Amino acid sequence: QVQLMESGGGLVQAGGSLRLSCAASGSIFSINVMGWYRQAPGKQRELVASITSGGSTNYADSVKGRFTISRDNAKNTVYLQLNSLKPENTAVYYCQLVLIRLDVEYWGQGTQVTVST
């Protein structure tokens, strides 16, 4: 089976930065999409950013220019660099892996990001 291990969440002041990491282990197909979703208190889970195994990225409009998604295919790891953080970015951030060939998805346990004013 596939497991996703997330790290990097924590408490940061507004304007600060944080880097989230998500390492996938198990039977990982080379053709995949990895991404980050977030769920703020009282809100629905939303896509923050995604990146394909080929390097194509997609971002939510609200984070463009501030957040950067990247991946290391050799390590099966995806990163999310969060810059210029705002209190409204406070949420649980979830890592997602989609295996295209199998049409299955996996989720990490989530990591809390809290941005103070």
Strands (E), the chain: 3-7, 10-13, 18-25, 32-39, 46-52, 57-59, 67-72, 77-82, 91-99, 104-107, 111-116
For the stretch 47-63, pLDDT in tens is 999 999 999 999 999 99
Note down pLDDT in tens along the chain; length 117 residues. 899 999 999 999 999 999 999 999 998 888 899 999 999 999 999 999 999 999 999 999 999 999 999 999 889 999 999 999 999 999 999 999 999 999 999 999 999 999 999
Give Cα 44 distance to the centre of its chain: 16
